[in-house]
Structure 1
């Protein structure tokens, strides 16, 4: 980006609709966060159902914007972009008023509809690389709404993804959806169209569907009414955003071919950059279409840091980390969080947690879970390499788990590759980066200017060699239980054997 004087340096807004809050950040062209504010969101859960009030999305986000922008010179604000939760949808009338609750990203009520979707659209889903849709995906939930909501039979009804309601309010009229949020509704990301023949077979009316554009496209500008409600200046560019996982990837700066962002929160989520569509025979990796001609492959595990709060509910995790770092037991635990089995880097609905070895105390048991997450992470890379995804670019670590310095170092050692920890990495920051592309720069150039790396952690080759047998035993245990396909296990073993330093370690042990 060209250098700006402080008086004219543009400000870009990143808006984020999460599960628990709506957030606005104001960021300058160097990546400095000038202001931020958030408002809580509430959910209603009942069994497999998870709903939110769509009107609350608008009021919470508008209030967050007003607070964040109260001290910002409006003349500097040039553009905004918005992310939301993947697969969250609602139906609205012709004026944009919600007719249904928002069915959230993890709402699983549409199992019967998912079976219909997978039968009717099998050839398309195969072509797009993800093979099947889960009940929580948007298209099965759309069929559920069409089957059960009387309002769906009205005239002028519109399908909206979560951000579509907000961009409609901001612009004062309906604007296109972005291809990232449209992925789980079945949008054909290669041919960039809705699969209307399959939709007709499913009973989805064409007039229900929004126009779809690539992320980073300018959708319109903020209207006067929205400016009065939000504090965002009238005329500010509205840029098509992405789902929250992709937004976090942009915020981490993982945007060169082969670059990956590993988000360690309750579960482990992988997002990478590829110059080509990655098709996964196992159906556990799917690709978003990124800005420009890029593709963003990714997958979400059912393992992750959430296991720590379950296994050590009242513990001082900082103290346990210090004790674990001194013990460094070779025991390893499969850190499965979900009761519904595993979904990435393999699909095994019957998978259960296990521990290899015998931890002597809570510190060693704690270390076993830290080590288990690192082993799952390494298996993710082995699987991605097997299916042809580029994996040799820079790796950033984000999410709550990345704040544990020992754990990040352990992950670098187990992986045998450097890791980078950004100063700030959140979806809202990623959307500010994407908004900056409205000035005519690429998302890669905008991220290079706006994403700040706080630390790079290099692996210790001796420690990588130490943890390699533990990783291989972990792979063998998954395969022996029938959860990990032997083809994947074999590739993981062979890739480990070919890794630099492995042969030296093997000779040393002979």
Structure 2
């Protein structure tokens, strides 16, 4: 049994719950996972919140199997951004959970942006998007008749934290951003919500990530293996937790999470304002800002287009196709969110050769081109981008793809030893007084640095600019971003 103090991070993902018990030096003393399932139908994507709780219990019990009860110091939970449901006064679900990419509430977005436009502009992101949580809340209010007294909105992490503590809990500012929270004032914009018909008692209180929300109750202790009385710390969205889990928290540092889709998150001293409405900023526990965005490109395209294939073998074959003859914009689904907003965007391939290795190489390179375009857009906004860049997510397991991304970006990339949202949640759990940067620097180690190959300097520029031209020509990429990408390439 491990008696060394540990902090527990719980990551509520799309397909599973992951729990880690981590020591102060970053050693993983125990880990556990449990699967999740959902229901997709066109714009609808739902999960059963009770399944979250069952999975949290299983994952935590597994993670703590070899950890002494007295070793557990605190627990924090991260969740998918924009996932919400309604609960009764006792925290029981009144509705399924509307997941982060559910867009059935798209019809409410115009009304929301008319009512809250001034606030959204002050917060830097200009306007809300169809998959954000506030449109979903309005949809729920319109489609759930006769709400009982005491009904309450819950973000995914709120639901689990309520079960852990046994009482109502505040929402962290990170998860509340897409529900309309004013992250500058750290309050709900009551005049906007009143205009939209959101009852005042429906929304939880707000706290920064890293704030203690309560302690684990007796029932939750029996279900999870977490000792009764363990402090429950406010977590964050999974994207913010992933950033914390890289340990790179100085201004100008960035983390690129490449899983099913691509998510970029960085650290800045000042709030980033994006006139194009694609970059939004969360608030860090120490009051700095975590700007970023989520693209709809990513490794999900490989799962779709090369099912059951040996991707390591395809990696080796793709290395001979630099650059690929084909040019692919590998959208996982319909619509794009970052580095531009284009609901009508669709993936495409130009110059298909019929060669499997070339098709695969074109998808890897296409994701890398979008990643590069994201950084060009961030540079256009004046965000500092010259700090450390870490690569995390499932795709970081492909050393070839990491090398390719370093070559396309023309900069070194760092591969953390243990990088995942659950580790970032553990960092939050271990961050008394919100010294999250100091804690992260001690808990997170770098496993490798991948430098761009000198012989590949400029090798992908022509293909990248073809992508920029094509995206602009289709009316999706704004001209200022396209022009800035060309100018940076020419330097």
Give the TM-score normalised by structure 2: 0.95
Instruction: Confirm whether residue 378 of structure 1 aligns to residue 367 of structure 2.
Output: no
Contact 1:99 1:151 in 2 (8 A): no
State the secondary structure of the residue aligned to 1:98: coil
Map 1:101-250 onto structure 2 (within 5 A): 101-152=96-147, 154-250=148-244
Could you tell which deviates more after superposition, 19-28 or 462-471? 462-471
Deviation for aligned residue 1:223: 2.1
Deviation for aligned residue 1:230: 1.8
Instruction: Confirm whether residue 431 of structure 1 aligns to residue 425 of structure 2.
Output: yes
Question: Please, which runs of 5 or more residues in structure 2 have no aligned partner?
Answer: none
Instruction: Confirm whether residue 259 of structure 1 aligns to residue 245 of structure 2.
Output: no
Could you tell which deviates more after superposition, 414-423 or 304-313? 304-313
Work out the CA distance in 1 between the residues paired with 2:482 and 2:5.
50
Work out the CA distance in 1 between the residues paired with 2:376 and 2:159.
39
Pairing partner for 2:79 from 65, 84, 87: 84
Tell me what 2:439 maps to: 446
Contact 1:25 1:428 in 2 (8 A): yes
Pairing partner for 2:93 from 98, 105, 109: 98
Tell me what 1:22 maps to: 17
Deviation for aligned residue 1:386: 0.4
Work out the CA distance in 1 between the residues paired with 2:193 and 2:123.
16
State the secondary structure of the residue aligned to 2:458: helix
State the secondary structure of the residue aligned to 2:181: coil
Contact 2:2 2:67 in 1 (8 A): no
Cα RMSD (Å): 1.9
Structure 1 residues 306 and 67 mapped into 2: Cα distance closer, same or farther (>3 Å)? closer
Contact 2:10 2:78 in 1 (8 A): yes
Map 1:347-362 onto structure 2 (within 5 A): 347-357=341-351, 359=353, 361-362=355-356
Q: Deviations over 1:326-385 (max 9, x none)?
A: 343443523332442322111223333344556472222222222222111111100001
Structure 1 residues 193 and 425 mapped into 2: Cα distance closer, same or farther (>3 Å)? same
Structure 1 residues 7 and 481 mapped into 2: Cα distance closer, same or farther (>3 Å)? closer
Contact 1:177 1:210 in 2 (8 A): yes
Larger radius of gyration: 1
Q: Deviations over 1:134-159 (max 9, x none)?
A: 2221111111111111242x211111
Instruction: Confirm whether residue 497 of structure 1 aligns to residue 481 of structure 2.
Output: no
Tell me what 2:477 maps to: 484
Contact 2:3 2:68 in 1 (8 A): no
State the secondary structure of the residue aligned to 2:448: strand
Work out the CA distance in 2 between the residues paired with 1:341 and 1:93.
34
Work out the CA distance in 2 between the residues paired with 1:338 and 1:155.
41
Contact 1:332 1:474 in 2 (8 A): no
Could you tell which deviates more after superposition, 130-139 or 173-182? 130-139
Contact 1:332 1:470 in 2 (8 A): no
Work out the CA distance in 2 between the residues paired with 1:40 and 1:330.
37
Tell me what 1:412 maps to: 406
Tell me what 1:508 maps to: none
Pairing partner for 1:292 from 253, 269, 286: 286
State the secondary structure of the residue aligned to 1:270: strand
Instruction: Confirm whether residue 468 of structure 1 aligns to residue 437 of structure 2.
Output: no
Instruction: Confirm whether residue 400 of structure 1 aligns to residue 388 of structure 2.
Output: no
Contact 1:260 1:270 in 2 (8 A): yes
Pairing partner for 1:456 from 428, 449, 452: 449
Contact 1:333 1:353 in 2 (8 A): no
Could you tell which deviates more after superposition, 292-301 or 229-238? 229-238
Tell me what 1:3 maps to: none
Deviation for aligned residue 1:441: 6.3
Contact 1:158 1:207 in 2 (8 A): yes
Tell me what 1:502 maps to: none
Could you tell which deviates more after superposition, 169-178 or 341-350? 341-350
Question: Please, which runs of 5 or more residues in structure 1 have no aligned partner?
Answer: 1-5, 499-510
Contact 2:326 2:358 in 1 (8 A): no
Q: Deviations over 1:245-284 (max 9, x none)?
A: 1111111223111111111112211111111111111111
Work out the CA distance in 1 between the residues paired with 2:451 and 2:20.
31
Q: Deviations over 1:184-235 (max 9, x none)?
A: 1100001111111111111111111111011111112222332232211122
State the secondary structure of the residue aligned to 2:270: coil
